[in-house]
Amino acid sequence: MAETEHPQLYLITPPEFELLSFPETLSRVMDAHDISCLRLSMATKDEDRIAKAADLLRELCHARDIALVIESHVLLVERLGLDGVHLTDGARSVRKVRKDLGADAIVGAFCGAQRHDGMNAGEAGADYVSFGPVGVTPLGDGTVADTELFEWWSEIVEVPVVAEGALDVENVARLAPYTDFFAIGEEIWRTDDPVQALGELAAAMG
């Protein structure tokens, strides 16, 4: 996941999806848009279900040269042949996970709106740091990762930064000059036409 001048698209799976139908929908989205990475982010704790989903999505991703990371489940990365992990506890476990998975694995860290936590994650070996939500949402504690955070990060820190959570056309256009990736999930999956919905967000990237 290399840093570029123009933001790249990073998809997040829905927390729950049908193993029979979702891969087809995902394929249409990935064939219509240039996707850099997919995050398998399932609410279930059923290891068998996660493994089946990972097997299906890995084939789709690797056929298109798209990286596939899994949220939180570090032990499943090597077991399922995935490219890395997305950690949700900020910088806390980055160093250990980097050591466990090795230099080639992707290790990403979600750091909310915490500038200091983001810097610590980068210094500990994270390949990218994710901040969010970037828009107002009733979920969480109401804290929003504002434009100033991304602007500051893009000027000071070399580690690629990801914007995620409550994304809309306005937020994407506002943050596009300062972010490397937009991580998009429910924003498109809950619409009738995910391909079109992602197209509208991608167009706002400029």
Sequence spans of domains, the chain: 8-203
Element housing 12 (H / E): strand 8-12
Pick the CATH number of 8-203 from 3.20.20.70, 3.30.360.10, 3.30.40.10, 3.90.650.10: 3.20.20.70
Do strands 8-12 and 35-40 pair parallel, antiparallel, or not at all (unpaired)?
A: parallel
Q: Fill in the DSSP letter of residue 58.
A: H
Check whether 148 has a pLDDT greater than 50. Answer: yes
Residue 3 pLDDT more than 50? no
- Measured between its terminal Cα atoms, the distance across the chain in Å is 20
d(CA 16, CA 133): 20
CA 100, CA 112: separation in Å to the nearest integer?
24
Residues 6+ apart with CB under 8 A from 50: 40, 42, 44, 70, 73, 76
Quick one: what percent of the chain has pLDDT higher than 70?
A: 98
DSSP letter, residue 181: E
C-alpha span between 196 and 29 (Å, rounded): 9
Q: At residue 101, does pLDDT exceed 70?
A: yes
* Token digits of residue 187: 């924003």
Amino acid identity, residue 159? V
Q: For residue 199, is pLDDT > 80?
A: yes
Can you read off the two tokens belonging to residue 36? Answer: 């850099």
pLDDT over 90 (residue 2): no
pLDDT tens per residue across span 31-63: 999 999 999 999 999 999 999 999 999 999 999
The Cα 120–Cα 172 span in angstroms is: 26
